[in-house]
Amino acid sequence: MRMRWALGAALALAGLVGCSRLLEVENPGQIDADGIDRDPAALPLRLAGAIGDFECAFGSYVVVSGLIGEELADATQTAARFPYDQRTLTQNDALYATGSCTALGVYTPLNTARAMLDAVARDLESTPDNVVPNRTRLLAQAYAYAGYSLVLLGEGFCTATISMLNRDGSITYGREMSRQEIWQEALARFDKALAAAQAANDATLVAMIRVGRARANLNLGRYTQAQQDAEQVPATFVFNATTSGASAGRQNRVWAQNSATSTATSVGDPYRNLNDPCVAVQPLRDSQGRIRRSATGVELWIQTKYPTDATPIPLATGDEAQLIIAEVEARQGNLARAQQILATFRARGNQPSATFATREAALAEVIEQRRRELFLEGHHLGDLIRFNLPFNPPVGAPFPGGGVYGSQRCMPLPAVERRNNPNIPDS
């Protein structure tokens, strides 16, 4: 679509703006994109496309955040990928900034999905109910997925921008925003999403939104508000980002990078021997029974949590909500409640019962259970930053691809954004 191209160019691909004329070539076998963008009846189709964009971006974020945050280790000889795992990204690195979601890009895919979702939400707001069936539910979805896009941008990036796509295809550029400001924007969308989901009487969407809103509030240190939402999510609740083997863009990105058929990454060392069914992993062995190694010497371990290219990736779960409750209770010194919740996760993970006599001990256990239960679901990098956890491998340790591991935690705002956004100084 011409609109989607304009957005991608404005956000990160300024050097390719001149190529937008390529999309103006008429093909009688294609639908006029401009007509779709103006047609209210096409809003469900536009929303489905935007959600698909988010799901692809989410899969890429799970892998990239796993590489930065120790869940995964790069096992390729591709130097462009090394800065993720090595924790040495600079604002001039291209892959994370402008790469596609299938190529493990994150900034452009997440921002593009978010802007498309915001644009659909805006158009749904101004469309009468009798024009678009289930308009209120669609509005809840648009705002909810936009909220999750912003949660991920805030957790993974040091700063980010929120540029908006106008109806005429022009861009209203955003300013550079802190992580806290990004999460505030996420909350604004979750609030609108919740009101719409409740009006549509959609309990599944309500729970999914409450988990997202609890996550944003937790990031902001608004613990009471986080717990209020988490308490209303059923413990057995699961909301997945869908995947499919129909195309590369729809594949489970973790599986595509780490499975018996793809060893572009290995499971990170801290997750290889936990004997926890929540962290389902296994080594790849040669005919002699030895663990295989990559060309760079990395032991090859694969996850089995996602056994196929079509296995969905959890986006919001009751388990996450329960761990949010446990964290807030631990922070407030309500150790009995925190321990009751944590005992459930310890039993599930083949761990012996334990007692936590202090807030610090209970909070440390929350961190441990979060890294196990939410393994390869896009959470651990956020926890690494939020709790200021030690690096593993440590800073200065030899990196398999050459050099040593760095100390970077969050991804910097890409230089391409600084160069092409008039509201951001180019530094």
Query: pLDDT, tens digit, for every residue of 80-92?
Result: 999 999 999 999 9
pLDDT at 17 over 80: no
pLDDT band at 426 (very low <50, low <70, confident <90, very high): confident
> Over the chain, what is the mean pLDDT?
92
Residue 398: strand pairing partners: 404
Residue of 218, 212, 258 whose CA lies nearest to 62: 258
The residues, any chain, with a CB within 8 Å of residue 167's CB and separated by 6 or more, are: 37, 123
CATH architecture of 2-245+314-388+406-420: Alpha Horseshoe (1.25)
pLDDT at 165 over 60: yes
The CA distance from 238 to 242, in Å, is 12
3-class SS at 316? strand
pLDDT at 19 over 50: no
pLDDT at 405 over 60: yes
Per-residue confidence (pLDDT) for residue 36, from 0 to 100:
56
The CA distance from 163 to 341, in Å, is 40
Q: Hey, where are the domains in the chain?
A: 2-245+314-388+406-420
Cα torsion 387, 208, 345, 183 to 10°: value is: 0
**Span 103-112, pLDDT tens digits:** 999 999 999 9
Residue of 390, 65, 47 whose CA lies nearest to 253: 65
Per-residue confidence (pLDDT) for residue 5, from 0 to 100:
36
Q: Note whether 211 and 317 are within 8 A (CB).
A: yes
Would you tell me how many other CB atoms lie within 10 Å of the CB of residue 417?
28
The residues, any chain, with a CB within 8 Å of residue 372's CB and separated by 6 or more, are: 274, 276, 278, 279, 345, 349
pLDDT at 29 over 50: no
**Span 52-76, pLDDT tens digits:** 999 999 999 999 999 999 999 999 9
